[in-house]
Amino acid sequence: MKIRLLTLLMVLLSNFSMAQEANHPTEGVFLELGGAGLVYSFNYDFRFDKKDQNSWGMRAGVGGYSLNDNASLLTLPIQVNKLLGSGKHFFEIGAGGTFIYYRNKGYSTSETYNPVTNEYTYSETRYTDKDFDFILNSGETPALMGTLNLGYRKIPENGGFLFSVNVIPIFNHNGFWPLWAGMGFGYAF
């Protein structure tokens, strides 16, 4: 009888201890304001090793805007990153690039005076500007901007609301800007 009771107690305790283990999430989806997507981006982040939250991982996203059918921007940020920490608080480091596609359609008008007829002639020319000038001029797009990532990420031990705040230095052929930042909100699973 004592052996059966002891066995039952061991089984219950082992099940209880397994239920208490944290299910560390290794994937997440989040909205980032600023950051690698420049204006904002929707991102998916995952760890290469699904059993280790501190392993190397990757994030990929899409962002941009469209204004009055005139100006439009598409950004595709991709970064390789690593989380360092335990529990729910992590330091995040990473590097990658952001693909940029920008178009600004507009019109320019000009007038010409004809002294013989004493009349003005007006003309309108449609143009498309492909130069993206946001923090660093990317020149004509499509273009690529390099990104680095240093920041903080909070991930609940059993999944749920995630939060991140990062400094995102950016660079391209026109220079380096060390003080761009981003803030993310999402869900870890």
What is the spatial distance between Cα 42 and Cα 39, in angstroms, rounded to a whole number? 11
Asked if residues 63 and 42 have their Cβ atoms less than 8 Å apart, the reply is yes
The domains of the chain are located at 24-102+132-188
Q: What is the pLDDT of residues 96-152, one digit of tens each?
A: 999 999 988 876 677 888 888 888 887 777 767 788 888 888 888 899 999 999 999
Contact of 182 with 39, CB cutoff 8 Å: no
- What pLDDT score does 10 carry? 56
pLDDT higher than threshold 60 for residue 79: yes
CATH topology of domain 24-102+132-188: Porin (2.40.160)
What percent of the residues of the chain are helix, what percent strand, and what percent coil, each to the nearest 5?
Answer: 10, 65, 25
Q: Given this model, what pLDDT does residue 169 score?
A: 97
Q: Which of 21-25, 94-98, 177-181 has the lowest average pLDDT?
A: 21-25
